[in-house]
Amino acid sequence: MLREVGRSSAGGDARGGLHWPGEAFNAGYLAARLTGADAATAAGSARTLTAAVIRHPLAIVDHSVVPGE
């Protein structure tokens, strides 16, 4: 679902990644909606992605552990 996330305006670093749980939720929701999911399904996708992000140090997640990749 998510392919690339660049530097965060909220304090990212050169490695890129999803840095804050809110960014992860927004990215998951928007990615699902842009691929045709309804609002409820998109919210579920966003929740799953957010759960993966908050389990990682500094909330920087490698693409290999992103759900749906």
Number of folded domains that form the chain:
1
Banded pLDDT at 9 (limits 50, 70, 90): very low
Full residue range of the structural domain in which residue 59 is found:
21-63
Q: Tens digits of per-residue pLDDT, 14-67?
A: 455 555 678 889 999 999 999 999 999 999 999 998 888 888 776 667 777 666
Between the CA of residue 17 and those of 14, 26, 41, 46, what are the distances in Å? 9, 13, 23, 15
End-to-end, the C-alpha distance of the chain in Å comes to 6
Specify the pLDDT at position 34: 97
pLDDT for res 39: 97
Contact in structure between 29 and 45 (CB atoms under 8 Å): yes
